[in-house]
Amino acid sequence: MSLKEEIHMNIVEDNRSRWLASPRVSDEDKATILSMDEESKNDAFFKDVELGTAGMRGKLGPGTNRMNLHTVGRVSVAFAMYVLSTDPNARQKGIVIAHDNRYFSREFAELSAKIFNEMGFKAYLFDALRPTPELSFAVRYLGAQGGVMITASHNPKEYNGYKVYDETGCQLIPSKAEEMLRCASSLPDELSFEVPAFEKKGETIILSSKVDDEYCALVKTCQRNPDLDKKGFKVVYTPQHGASYENAMRVFEDCGYEIIPVESQCNHDPAFGGTKSPNPEVAVAWEKVFETMKENHADLGVMTDPDGDRCGVAYLSSKGTYERFTGNESAALLIDYLLDDMQKKGELPEDAVIYDTIVTSSLGRIVAASYGVKSESFLTGFKFIGDRIAHYEKLGKGPTFVFGYEESYGCLVKPFVRDKDGLQAILLYTEMALYYHRLGIPLDVAFDRLQQKHGYHLALTKDAYFEGMEGASKMKAMMEGLRVSPLTEIAGIKVEKTSDYLAQETIDASGKKETILGLPKSDVMKYFLEDGSTVCVRPSGTEPKVKFYIEAVSEQKEGLLKLVEKLDQGIRSAAMK
């Protein structure tokens, strides 16, 4: 056994013994710990569940590296301490709490409210599950000083998470998250911390349906052409057992659409029993949608993920088959639809801007530029888009936001929400599809015409998983290797320049360096190849995996998929050697 392995094993045994000896740990949890096999024991205790800029997310169960009442309780205290540091009136302004359909989501939400109350905070708690974008809206609507969303988004059923929001309804950006992390580091471990009681306890206010009413009313204002003839246009919808079902059905029906829900995926089942995956990015998540579309001869299929911030789009193609768009493809087509409609109606602001991320396809930016609209790219994470909107709002001047998106099925149409909003997105995607349907143009034909005009782009995300105790160190070593040995080619294609977002510099093939301005440091490498393709490498902030974002660009459609696969093999070979 190496010294590193010995240290890891000592950490595991120390943490495990501490949990087994603690009176705070239930007999049931102790029995679970004692029954763990070696692999489960190591994974549950080799570190603390990670608290980062995206909040906290992990598998459920007893252990330091798990989501449970102890780890959630500790982060709730830390978040309340952080919120109090941002405003002396934070206790009166309060914190809003929402949750999705997952195991222990309600328990974690109620525990958070109880802790906030003990610390003197008013807590606003929804009476049942609600989607993430409504939580973001509610923070702003109620004038609260912060928000908490209990969710693991699209992760498998074994996971849960704890997202934290500031007073603007935006997830904490790194500078704010660092303050919260400092608060957390001042606390004892998850079995030793105490809730600092305030002299006057706060109260928990159960939110009424008025918040739903206001949120849904604003979503409906996102429509560009609400009077399009909807007769005979059939849309299949699934919430993937999640929190968007009630709001989505209400908005669709109010807007006059004929909606066919995937019945087996509409109950709020924490086991996700009616789907093979709740993630819109995964092909098997669409099996029931396609079945329902075929059975009902539907024109469109839309999906929101369990916490309702992401969406996906499927459609009846010109070949009579049912296909689905990637997030990059659907967003590029929607950008064209929105900007074209604004321009025709004389409503396109001269200072319009679209926000995306550094791993998003370039097609959307090219489409926007064709309308004279500028684009600005941020690090991965919608919080950076929400924060930039808030920045200009506070400044009282700046470009006019017209759309924000990222490649992983996240869109924002109107900024009354400061996170991606799956309901806004599926409403506008449905309207766009209806618009083309009335013109007799299938969506694949519409998208092909867009690419004929602006060039063919194929952008796909590939994953490499690094599970368990050694996973984090392997990912770190991989990224360090890419920096120590700079790549000059990928799959035989020359690298023209490399952007290192951790070093915050871009280096071209001649060695010339340029500083990357306006973005915080991040462990991301992006390669720009001589044929116009790009490859980006980024460790996930919420899952034990590295993501490879690959975009092939050409004037011809043929050969793009083969090029993406070639680049994927090339970067994997170079990164994992």
How far apart CA 488 and CA 527 sit, in angstroms, is 9
Q: How long a stretch of residues is the chain?
A: 577
The answer to whether the beta carbons of residues 42 and 468 sit under 8 Å apart is: yes
The answer to whether the beta carbons of residues 112 and 123 sit under 8 Å apart is: yes
Catalytic annotation present for 408: no
How far apart CA 348 and CA 374 sit, in angstroms, is 12
How far apart CA 206 and CA 126 sit, in angstroms, is 6
DSSP state of 2: -
Residue with tokens 């409906």: 220
Q: How many whole angstroms from its chain centre is CA 364?
A: 19
Residue with tokens 């490649």: 407
Q: At what angle do helices 327-344 and 363-370 cross, to 10 degrees?
A: 10
Residue with tokens 């995607």: 429
> Which residue intervals of 412-546 are DSSP H helices?
422-438, 443-454, 471-484
How far apart CA 121 and CA 424 sit, in angstroms, is 31
> Roughly how many angstroms between the first and final C-alpha of the chain, as a whole number?
23
Tokens encoding 213: 């009413």
Given the residues 105, 153, 330, 522, select the one marked as catalytic: 153
CA atoms within 13 A on the CB side of 560: 19
The answer to whether the beta carbons of residues 135 and 147 sit under 8 Å apart is: yes
Catalogue the active-site residues: 153
